Amino acid sequence: MIFFLKISMKKTLNRLMCLNFLSISPEGKLYDCDFNQALGLSIDHPKDVFALRKLGLEVLEGGTIKIGDHCYGCTALFGTGCFGALT
């Protein structure tokens, strides 16, 4: 899947929500994007916004983003709410 995303949607990839934004649940859990939050795919480290506050934003740099088939929605022509539009 990653290969497909990198090759066919180069113009969209640098604008994906998961690269620049966080979703935070009411309980403080952190997610790469709104879709991952809806699916319950939270960030592994830090576990929540309270730990992030102690550790600092730098801890997120270079982290792994959880991906799945739902990611195609953000790499499609209009990218829904993920700023993936090519025009």
- The string of DSSP letters for 2-52 reads HHHHHHH-HHHHTT-HHHH--EE-TT-BEESSHHHHHHT-B-SSS-BHHHH
Q: How confident is the model at residue 7 (pLDDT cuts 50, 70, 90)?
A: low
Which is higher by pLDDT, 31 or 79?
A: 31
Domain ranges of the chain: 2-79
Judge whether residue 73 has pLDDT over 70.
yes
Do 24 and 34 meet the contact criterion of CB atoms below 8 Å apart? no
Which carries the bigger pLDDT value, residue 41 or residue 17?
Answer: 41
